[in-house]
Amino acid sequence: MKATAKAHTNIALIKYWGKRDESLILPMNSSLSLTLNAFYTETTVTFKPDLSEDKFFLDNELIVGDQFTKVSKFLDLIRNYADVPDLFAEVHSTNAVPTAAGFASSASGFAALAAAASRALDLKLDESTLSRLTRQGSGSACRSVYGGFVEWEKGTQDDGSDSYAVPVAPQDHWDVRVAAVVLSSVMKKVSSREGMKRTVETSPFYSAWVDNIPTDLTQIKEAIQDRDFERMGEIAEANCQKMHATTLAANPPFTYWHDTTLTVMQTVQGLREKGIPAYFTIDAGPNVKVLYQPENEEVVQQTLREIPGVTNVILSRSGQGVTYK
Ligand code: DP6
Per-residue pLDDT 10s for the chain (325 aa) are: 999 999 999 999 999 999 999 999 999 999 999 999 999 999 999 999 999 999 999 999 999 999 999 999 999 999 999 999 999 999 999 998 654 445 657 899 999 999 999 999 999 999 999 999 999 999 999 999 999 999 999 999 999 999 999 999 999 999 999 999 998 656 568 999 999 999 999 999 999 999 999 999 999 999 999 999 999 999 999 999 999 999 999 999 999 999 999 999 999 999 999 999 999 999 998 999 999 999 999 999 999 999 999 998 999 999 999 999 9
Enumerate residues lining ligand 1, CB below 6 A: 12, 15-17, 25, 31, 104, 106, 138-140, 192-193, 283-284
Residue ranges, CATH 3.30.230.10, the chain: 2-171
User: What percent of the chain is helix, strand and coil (3-state, nearest 5)?
Assistant: 40, 25, 35
- Dihedral of CA atoms 59, 63, 67, 69 in degrees, nearest 10, equals 140
- At residue 131, what are phi and psi to the nearest 5 degrees? -65, -40
Mind listing the pLDDT tens digit for each residue in 212-239? Answer: 999 999 999 999 999 999 999 999 999 9
Mind listing the pLDDT tens digit for each residue in 85-122? Answer: 999 999 999 998 654 445 657 899 999 999 999 999 99
Q: What are the angstrom distances between the C-alpha of 114 and each of 73, 86, 139?
A: 12, 18, 13
Select from 20, 71, 113, 283 the residue to mutate for testing ligand 1; criterion: most ligand atoms less than 8 Å from CB: 283
Closest atom of ligand 1 to CA, residue 139? 5
Which are the contacts of 266, defined by CB distance < 8 A and separation ≥ 6?
none
Residue 53 alpha carbon to ligand 1 centre in Å: 28
Nearest CA to ligand 1 atom 14: 283
CA distance 245 to 118: 39
Residue 123 alpha carbon to ligand 1 centre in Å: 27
What type of residue is 121?
L
pLDDT at 186: 62
Q: Provide the 10 A C-beta neighbour count for residue 172.
A: 10
- Report the chain's terminal Cα–Cα distance, integer Å: 14
Residue 23 alpha carbon to ligand 1 centre in Å: 14
Which CATH code, of 3.30.230.10, 3.40.50.800, 3.90.1150.10, 3.40.50.300, is assigned to 2-171? 3.30.230.10
- CATH topology for the 177-317 domain: Alpha-Beta Plaits (3.30.70)
Q: CB of 149 within 8 A of CB of 169?
A: yes
Residue ranges, CATH 3.30.70.890, the chain: 177-317
